[in-house]
Structure 1
Amino acid sequence: MASDDVSKLADVLSKTHVRDEELSYKGLGLKLDNAETVKELVHKIEQYQGLRALRLEGNTIGVEAAQAIAKALKHKDQLQRCHWSDIFTGRLRSEIPTALRSLGGALMSAGARLTELDLSDNAFGPDGVKGIENLLKSPTCHSLRKLRLNNCGMGIEGGKILAAALTECHKQSSAQGEPLKLRVFMAGRNLLKNEGVTALAAAFQLIGSLKEIHLPQNSINHLGITALASAIQLNPELSILNLNDNTFSKRGALAMAQALRHLKNVQVINFGDCLVRSEGAIAISAVLREGLPNLKELNLAFGQITDAAALVVAQAVTDKPHMEKVDLNGNCLGEEGSEALKEFMESMDKGDMLASLSDDEGEPDDDEEEDEHEEDNENEEDDDNGVEENVEKEGDENEKENGVSNGESFLTKPQSSVEVESFLNSPSSDKLLQLGEERTLLIQQVDVSDPDKAADILLKISSVYSEQPETKRVVLETINAVFKRLFSGSTLQSYCFLSSVLVLMGLLKGEGKGRKLHVVPSHLRCLEHAVQQEYFPQDHASLLQIFLCKNDKVLKSGGGATHSLWTPGEKVLSRMVSLATSPTVSTTASTKPPNTQCTVPMDTTDKAMEALHLDKGQGT
């Protein structure tokens, strides 16, 4: 090495600093190829007594240099924190595993007990994971609390190797009476995909001590998200969950919402750019209503969420005492929807909580959105078992929680008579009346774990409503029984059911080209009746109200129904606005469309309607 290069290196090394038992070479841009180039560095390591942290990030280390550093580390048994991100820039990928084995072997020889290992921004691929595999399994990592492997190109194979190593570490540490208690896991931008993240989820489920999980940009769809959901609910101390820029779709969003119900310490949720969509946003809103008491930040940006669903989210977050920020940017609110959302948040004195909406994508084009949904469904593996399992487990838990003791399980498919099947295949008032006591079998068909089927049954029953006294009585009694059955579960389950009702009625865009019913006056009459009952929660009535008010065109047309639909529909809108806020409020409904009049107190729900320019019962 030329003398001027040695002098330059010595000058650079002189700028290194020592603090809090830490030796740092961070960001010096050193090109360390061999033993000669690291001579001064090695000397400092050897002379440092009680070294606990070593920062090498931002330099580039070759195999020979790594071996020289490793030789010095063999005597550093107190080393706990290795900040070694971005240390292989410009190196051949084949070199990196060898260098990592040298460094890891030295730590194991020294008997060090690491608490933090950061190897981010080292594009070492699966072979690089093999380079740290033995280290991760060893007693040196039994004490590991933070593991950062962002942007390492691990891929599916690397994810599986990493998961197996963490599993073995937990097994061996548990055998010694001190199980691995990993707190922070970061592995963004690694193309782990479903297989890799599913393997890691199994390890997370076993470890059970995670406080932070960061897995952004890993090309995960609903299958991997569902696997993660099963794991996170077994990590009760979880406070930060960052899954930005993956693909949830409805199935992934529902699975994750179900998991979040079990967690009390979550403070930050980042599901931005995850295609949560409106149904997923409503499911997450349900969880906000019934749990997540410590939430501070919620990111649902760029998720193809419509304005009405965004307002449902906004209503839910304003009740959170520690909430600081909600990000709904880049969704499909449109100009009016964006302004309405801002006005609502300001009306609740929460204007500062709402992030910028500058990148809103405008109201979605129905044809384009439907095509995108269909394409997503074609590209995703058609396997719903994971989500269905979670739903069934939840239904079973809720059955126990709510003291269901009549021997009937929500999960056991009830026997159905020929008459019940006949009614469901072709509903009519005569068939419903003829069921008599067999209406019990019809009600038993309603399963909290299958919101789509439950919604279909409810609307079929509602469709035969009439003002004929006996028909009216039987329909409303049956409707009451159905709603009570569905509302006996969690808020998440009942919100999912109401979402399915809205999708079937054409008031909420669902995924794919699902069947939609023609909205008829009897549907609206039955909903009007239901929201007046004690069993119908106020926030559930508010959810219906928002979508009914935002979709007056659908109600007017009824998907082909006659103009007479609008008059009862209009009255229901007026009554729902008041009933959602106070059952004693008087309403005055005009029979002249489209300017329905309604006088209601200015509380949370009415402020939402005012923000949507729907106060006094007006449609959009």
Structure 2
Amino acid sequence: MATFDFNSITKALSDNNRTTSGVDFSGKSLKLDTEKDAQPIVDAINKCPDLQYLTLTGNTLGVAAAQAIARALEHHPELKVARFSDMFTGRMKTEIPPALSALGDGMIAAGARLQSLDLSDNAFGPIGVEGLAKLLESEVCSQLQELRLNNNGLGITGGKLLAKALSSSPRRLKVFVAGRNRLENDGAKALAAVFQNMGTLEEVAMPQNGIYHVGITALSEAFRRNPRLSTLNLNDNTVGAKGAAALARALPSLKNLKTMNFGDCLLKSKGAKALAKAFKDNSHTLESLDLSHNEIGREACMEVVDSIMATDKLNKLVLAGNSLGGASNKKTIRDKLGSCAELSDGEGGSDDEYVTDSEEEDEGSDEEAESENEDSDSDDTQINESADIVRDVTLDSSGVEEIETDVGKFLREPTIENLNRLGSNAAEVIDTHLQSIKDTSDLIQAYVEATFCVSGLSDQNATAADVANQLYPLLIKRAGQRHAAAWILADAMLRGLGLIKSENKNYKIRWLLPPCFTCLGSVIEQAYFPGALRDTLRFFIASKLPLLPAATSAAINRAGALKQS
């Protein structure tokens, strides 16, 4: 680890007259697999005496390359900006957490204090957050002002893990970007709880996340605690009337709000009117407002226009894709707002482009539709689109008997007795039974569960241990025969070993974990075992070891092969 003087570092970082310098390898499309591949970047880092930024955007890093770069970073406590977007193209999801963890360890060892971290456009999903968590929780991010995680495929689980990492100690973010992540209500609520304690947010962008009014309401309450907020982008979420009402209640606290993007949010007339009333009743400094494609009726559109006319700073109001009425109505809007009004998509659009039969809409029917839309989410559950279709369908099942195979019974109830029923060639019987599964994900999941069901019995029965040792190479072989299956295999094994949580609420671990780790330890060094999978499993085992039950930890410690070398 590099040695350094904290006093000299603090003095250097506080010098505002320093010339910005750093290393930029953006857009070079380098494929960096090995330490040798990464050498040009390592050399550039080592030659830079004042590494304030490092940009690796548009290249692809493997674990060994990331570790080499990390060792170079250990000597640069002055690093402020890490631009690591679009950095894992073509990589398996299982490679990304160890690579992220290595880069984080390098910055932690250096004692760096990041101000900006960009990991956008890396589809690492929830397990990627596992590799990122240590960095976010460390002192390296104690002064972080910008966090950009756009298009990372976080999902609900990733959103919760991210919120947990950010809440480990006080954070003072100014910019938070996390669009296109399918955070949904639960992910949004988890992050909202973190935002409430910040009070420093100036820009929040969370478009295309499948958030309904429940999550929007939680976020709105958090925004009230962040009075410096100037830019808010919730485009393409289902805000609806209830969400709009919650946002309207927050507006009096947001005196610095300049840019709002609520396009494609299904506001409808009721939601638009709620926002219009808030604009009218409270002084505001809006410069740009996007309410496009929200099924807003003519009357509500006019209320929005009238409500924001008081500001002299407005330079853009987008109402395209709503029922604005005929040419005379649009002329009235343009006369009131001038060139800042955008009433159609693109150039050359007809004045009558969005005139529909709904321009004289019935307000009662609008409210009814809105209520139907949002009541489906009132219990914060997922919408079951097929429920109405199948509710009244009854199938005649008379004379039909369910036939359960011996393999099926064992997988449902993994006991020694049920395993013995499979005979002396149990591994072959299980393999034959499972090969009929067509879907790649389902097949790999089934092989992993079968392997763990048998492994869980290995401390009770020597035959079970032998069968488990026979199943592992079959599991690796069958997964290897399927296209792009490596990350599915790693994900299934991590969930089956209890090292990451499953997003499927019905997922249950039916096997004992300590003997599963013992069996894994006996095969993980075998030649057939993929190196990337071995590294990933060891990474997660090491990070989770202090949190595991005593019996499981003891089994891992006895199986030395499971520990990182």
Instruction: Indicate the TM-score class for this superposition, using the shorter chain for normalisation.
Output: 0.5 to 0.7
Write the letter of the residue equivalent to 2:296. I
TM-fit CA distance, 1:143? 0.3
| Residues 1:313 and 1:371: Cα distance change in structure 2 (over 3 Å) | closer
TM-score normalised per structure 1: 0.55
8 Å contact 1:146–1:184 — kept in the other structure? Answer: yes
**2:338 aligns to what?**
351
TM-fit CA distance, 1:374? 6.0
> Structure 2: how far apart are the matches of 1:340 and 1:181?
49
| Residues 1:292 and 1:228: Cα distance change in structure 2 (over 3 Å) | farther
Write the letter of the residue equivalent to 1:275. L
Structure 2 counterparts to residues 181-580 of structure 1, below 5 A:
181-334=172-325, 336=326, 339-348=327-336, 350-358=337-345, 360=354, 362-364=356-358, 372-373=369-370, 375-377=372-374, 379-382=376-379
**Tell me, what secondary structure is at the counterpart of 2:54?**
strand
> Structure 1: how far apart are the matches of 2:283 and 2:90?
45
> Structure 2: how far apart are the matches of 1:95 and 1:37?
16
Write the letter of the residue equivalent to 2:334. E
Deviations 1:45-83 (A, max 9, x none): 011101000110011111111111111011110000000
| Residues 1:292 and 1:71: Cα distance change in structure 2 (over 3 Å) | farther
**Tell me, what secondary structure is at the counterpart of 2:260?**
strand
| Residues 1:129 and 1:265: Cα distance change in structure 2 (over 3 Å) | same
| Residues 1:268 and 1:344: Cα distance change in structure 2 (over 3 Å) | same
Residues 1:137 and 2:137 are matched in the alignment: yes
> Structure 1: how far apart are the matches of 2:34 and 2:125?
23
TM-fit CA distance, 1:373? 3.9
**2:529 aligns to what?**
none
TM-fit CA distance, 1:263? 1.2
Task: Report how many residues are paired.
Answer: 353
Unmatched segments (≥5 aa) in structure 1: 1-18, 171-179, 384-620
> Structure 1: how far apart are the matches of 2:160 and 2:79?
28
Structure 2 counterparts to residues 28-107 of structure 1, below 5 A:
28-107=28-107
| Residues 1:27 and 1:322: Cα distance change in structure 2 (over 3 Å) | same
| Residues 1:73 and 1:287: Cα distance change in structure 2 (over 3 Å) | same
| Residues 1:322 and 1:374: Cα distance change in structure 2 (over 3 Å) | closer
Write the letter of the residue equivalent to 2:198. I
Write the letter of the residue equivalent to 1:353. C
Larger Rg: 1
**2:525 aligns to what?**
none
> Structure 2: how far apart are the matches of 1:374 and 1:267?
30
8 Å contact 1:266–1:292 — kept in the other structure? Answer: no
> Structure 2: how far apart are the matches of 1:250 and 1:374?
8
Structure 2 counterparts to residues 133-172 of structure 1, below 5 A:
133-170=133-170
8 Å contact 1:33–1:63 — kept in the other structure? Answer: yes
8 Å contact 1:198–1:228 — kept in the other structure? Answer: yes
Unmatched segments (≥5 aa) in structure 2: 1-18, 346-352, 381-565
> Structure 2: how far apart are the matches of 1:185 and 1:56?
20
**1:557 aligns to what?**
none
8 Å contact 1:296–1:322 — kept in the other structure? Answer: yes
| Residues 1:236 and 1:154: Cα distance change in structure 2 (over 3 Å) | same
8 Å contact 1:342–1:351 — kept in the other structure? Answer: no
Write the letter of the residue equivalent to 1:221. Y
Write the letter of the residue equivalent to 1:330. G
> Structure 2: how far apart are the matches of 1:227 and 1:134?
27
TM-fit CA distance, 1:361? 6.5
Q: Percent identity?
A: 44
TM-fit CA distance, 1:286? 1.4
TM-fit CA distance, 1:378? 5.0
Deviations 1:375-405 (A, max 9, x none): 514532258xxxxxxxxxxxxxxxxxxxxxx
> Structure 1: how far apart are the matches of 2:263 and 2:79?
37
Write the letter of the residue equivalent to 1:187. A
TM-fit CA distance, 1:341? 3.9
8 Å contact 1:222–1:248 — kept in the other structure? Answer: yes
| Residues 1:189 and 1:261: Cα distance change in structure 2 (over 3 Å) | same
**Tell me, what secondary structure is at the counterpart of 1:326?**
strand
> Structure 2: how far apart are the matches of 1:318 and 1:340?
19
8 Å contact 1:115–1:143 — kept in the other structure? Answer: yes
Write the letter of the residue equivalent to 1:249. G
8 Å contact 2:241–2:370 — kept in the other structure? Answer: no
Write the letter of the residue equivalent to 1:75. H
**Tell me, what secondary structure is at the counterpart of 1:261?**
helix
Deviations 1:126-156 (A, max 9, x none): 0101111011111110000000000000011
